[in-house]
Amino acid sequence: MNSCPCGSGNDYAACCEPIITGKKSAETAEQLMRARYSAHVKVAVDFLYDSTHPDHRAGYDHEATKTWAEESEWRGLEIIGTTNGGLKDDEGEVEFIARFRDKTGIHSHHERGQFKRTNKEWGFVEGIMVKAQPLSVTKIGRNDPCSCGSGKKYKKCCGK
Protein backbone atom coordinates (compact mmCIF):
# COMPACT_ATOMS: atom_id res chain seq x y z
CA MET A 1 0.00 0.00 0.00
CA ASN A 2 1.23 3.46 -0.92
CA SER A 3 -0.03 5.61 1.96
CA CYS A 4 -1.32 9.05 0.99
CA PRO A 5 0.93 11.95 2.03
CA CYS A 6 -2.12 13.86 3.35
CA GLY A 7 -2.18 11.68 6.46
CA SER A 8 -5.67 10.25 5.91
CA GLY A 9 -4.38 6.70 6.30
CA ASN A 10 -5.82 5.79 2.90
CA ASP A 11 -3.96 4.59 -0.17
CA TYR A 12 -2.74 7.48 -2.35
CA ALA A 13 -4.40 5.97 -5.45
CA ALA A 14 -7.79 6.06 -3.71
CA CYS A 15 -7.34 9.33 -1.81
CA CYS A 16 -5.61 12.38 -3.30
CA GLU A 17 -4.26 11.04 -6.59
CA PRO A 18 -7.65 11.01 -8.41
CA ILE A 19 -8.22 14.63 -7.35
CA ILE A 20 -4.72 15.74 -8.37
CA THR A 21 -4.94 13.99 -11.75
CA GLY A 22 -8.43 15.37 -12.44
CA LYS A 23 -10.19 12.00 -12.44
CA LYS A 24 -12.53 13.30 -9.74
CA SER A 25 -13.27 16.58 -8.02
CA ALA A 26 -12.78 17.32 -4.35
CA GLU A 27 -16.17 17.05 -2.65
CA THR A 28 -15.21 19.20 0.33
CA ALA A 29 -12.81 22.00 1.16
CA GLU A 30 -10.86 19.62 3.40
CA GLN A 31 -10.44 17.11 0.57
CA LEU A 32 -9.03 19.88 -1.60
CA MET A 33 -6.71 21.01 1.21
CA ARG A 34 -5.41 17.45 1.63
CA ALA A 35 -4.92 17.12 -2.13
CA ARG A 36 -3.04 20.43 -2.25
CA TYR A 37 -0.68 19.24 0.49
CA SER A 38 -0.13 15.95 -1.38
CA ALA A 39 0.51 17.95 -4.55
CA HIS A 40 3.37 19.73 -2.79
CA VAL A 41 4.81 16.36 -1.79
CA LYS A 42 4.42 14.98 -5.34
CA VAL A 43 5.52 18.30 -6.95
CA ALA A 44 2.24 18.50 -8.90
CA VAL A 45 2.45 22.27 -9.33
CA ASP A 46 -0.01 22.38 -12.24
CA PHE A 47 -2.66 21.08 -9.84
CA LEU A 48 -1.71 23.72 -7.28
CA TYR A 49 -2.34 26.41 -9.87
CA ASP A 50 -5.51 24.79 -11.24
CA SER A 51 -6.96 24.31 -7.74
CA THR A 52 -6.46 27.97 -6.90
CA HIS A 53 -9.75 29.84 -7.35
CA PRO A 54 -9.65 31.65 -10.74
CA ASP A 55 -10.24 35.04 -9.09
CA HIS A 56 -7.10 34.56 -6.96
CA ARG A 57 -4.45 33.34 -9.41
CA ALA A 58 -2.79 36.72 -9.99
CA GLY A 59 0.77 36.66 -8.73
CA TYR A 60 1.04 32.86 -8.67
CA ASP A 61 4.71 31.99 -9.22
CA HIS A 62 4.85 28.58 -10.88
CA GLU A 63 8.65 28.24 -10.77
CA ALA A 64 9.00 29.36 -7.14
CA THR A 65 6.26 26.93 -6.09
CA LYS A 66 7.97 24.11 -7.98
CA THR A 67 11.36 24.92 -6.43
CA TRP A 68 9.86 25.06 -2.91
CA ALA A 69 8.04 21.75 -3.40
CA GLU A 70 11.13 20.02 -4.82
CA GLU A 71 13.58 21.34 -2.25
CA SER A 72 11.43 20.61 0.80
CA GLU A 73 11.14 17.38 2.72
CA TRP A 74 7.44 17.18 3.57
CA ARG A 75 6.88 15.81 7.07
CA GLY A 76 3.12 15.73 7.51
CA LEU A 77 -0.20 17.48 7.48
CA GLU A 78 -2.36 18.02 10.54
CA ILE A 79 -5.93 19.21 10.05
CA ILE A 80 -6.85 21.29 13.11
CA GLY A 81 -10.47 21.86 12.10
CA THR A 82 -12.89 22.92 9.42
CA THR A 83 -15.63 25.51 9.29
CA ASN A 84 -18.24 24.88 6.61
CA GLY A 85 -16.72 23.62 3.34
CA GLY A 86 -19.02 20.60 3.21
CA LEU A 87 -21.09 19.01 0.46
CA LYS A 88 -23.79 21.71 0.57
CA ASP A 89 -21.56 24.73 1.25
CA ASP A 90 -20.07 27.19 -1.21
CA GLU A 91 -17.40 28.54 1.17
CA GLY A 92 -15.26 26.94 3.81
CA GLU A 93 -12.20 27.25 5.98
CA VAL A 94 -9.65 24.58 6.84
CA GLU A 95 -7.17 25.23 9.62
CA PHE A 96 -4.06 23.12 9.22
CA ILE A 97 -0.40 22.73 10.05
CA ALA A 98 1.91 21.56 7.27
CA ARG A 99 5.33 20.48 8.49
CA PHE A 100 8.38 20.47 6.26
CA ARG A 101 12.13 20.75 6.28
CA ASP A 102 14.15 22.86 3.90
CA LYS A 103 17.76 24.00 3.83
CA THR A 104 17.04 26.54 6.59
CA GLY A 105 15.55 24.03 9.02
CA ILE A 106 12.30 22.45 10.17
CA HIS A 107 9.13 24.52 9.81
CA SER A 108 5.46 24.38 10.78
CA HIS A 109 3.20 26.29 8.41
CA HIS A 110 0.03 27.02 10.44
CA GLU A 111 -2.71 28.52 8.32
CA ARG A 112 -6.45 28.95 7.98
CA GLY A 113 -7.07 28.23 4.31
CA GLN A 114 -10.08 29.90 2.72
CA PHE A 115 -11.94 27.99 0.01
CA LYS A 116 -14.79 28.83 -2.34
CA ARG A 117 -16.84 26.62 -4.64
CA THR A 118 -17.73 27.91 -8.09
CA ASN A 119 -19.51 25.76 -10.71
CA LYS A 120 -19.31 22.74 -8.36
CA GLU A 121 -15.50 23.01 -8.09
CA TRP A 122 -13.69 23.94 -4.88
CA GLY A 123 -10.86 26.44 -5.21
CA PHE A 124 -8.28 27.78 -2.79
CA VAL A 125 -8.81 31.50 -2.21
CA GLU A 126 -6.20 32.57 0.33
CA GLY A 127 -4.35 31.51 3.43
CA ILE A 128 -4.37 33.42 6.69
CA MET A 129 -1.36 32.65 8.85
CA VAL A 130 -2.13 31.65 12.43
CA LYS A 131 0.19 33.31 14.90
CA ALA A 132 1.37 31.49 18.00
CA GLN A 133 -0.66 32.35 21.06
CA PRO A 134 1.24 33.96 23.94
CA LEU A 135 1.78 31.84 27.01
CA SER A 136 -0.39 32.82 29.92
CA VAL A 137 1.14 32.73 33.35
CA THR A 138 -1.02 32.59 36.43
CA LYS A 139 0.57 33.98 39.53
CA ILE A 140 0.07 31.82 42.62
CA GLY A 141 -0.32 33.61 45.92
CA ARG A 142 1.43 32.32 49.04
CA ASN A 143 -1.89 31.24 50.60
CA ASP A 144 -3.34 29.70 47.41
CA PRO A 145 -3.50 25.92 47.02
CA CYS A 146 -0.26 24.58 45.54
CA SER A 147 -0.42 23.89 41.80
CA CYS A 148 1.27 20.50 42.25
CA GLY A 149 -1.99 19.09 43.61
CA SER A 150 -0.73 18.23 47.10
CA GLY A 151 -3.63 20.05 48.76
CA LYS A 152 -1.22 22.13 50.84
CA LYS A 153 -0.86 25.89 50.66
CA TYR A 154 1.75 27.03 48.15
CA LYS A 155 3.92 28.59 50.91
CA LYS A 156 4.07 25.26 52.77
CA CYS A 157 4.77 23.17 49.67
CA CYS A 158 6.52 24.23 46.43
CA GLY A 159 6.85 27.87 47.49
CA LYS A 160 9.46 27.12 50.17
Q: Which of 39-48, 107-116, 126-135, 137-146 has the lowest mean pLDDT?
A: 137-146
Q: Give the pTM.
A: 0.81
Q: How confident is the model at residue 135 (pLDDT cuts 50, 70, 90)?
A: low
- One-letter-per-residue 3-state SS of the chain: CCECCCCCCCEHHHCCHHHHCCCCCCCCHHHHHHHHHHHHHHCCHHHHHHCECHHHCCCCCHHHHHHHHHHCEEEEEEEEEEEECCCCCCEEEEEEEEEEEECCEEEEEEEEEEEEEECCEEEEEEEEECCCCCCCCCCCCCCCECCCCCCCEHHHCCCC
Residue 149 predicted with pLDDT over 70 = no
- The class level of CATH for 12-129 reads alpha beta
* Mean pLDDT, the chain, integer: 92
Residue 133 predicted with pLDDT over 70 = no
Residue 26 predicted with pLDDT over 70 = yes
pLDDT at 4: 98
Residue 28 predicted with pLDDT over 70 = yes
- The tens digit of pLDDT for each residue in 39-98 reads 999 999 999 999 999 999 999 999 999 999 999 999 999 999 999 999 999 999 999 999
Decide which of 155 and 84 is more confident. Answer: 84
pLDDT at 131: 85
Where along the chain do its domains lie? 12-129, 134-160
pLDDT at 159: 72
Decide which of 154 and 52 is more confident. Answer: 52
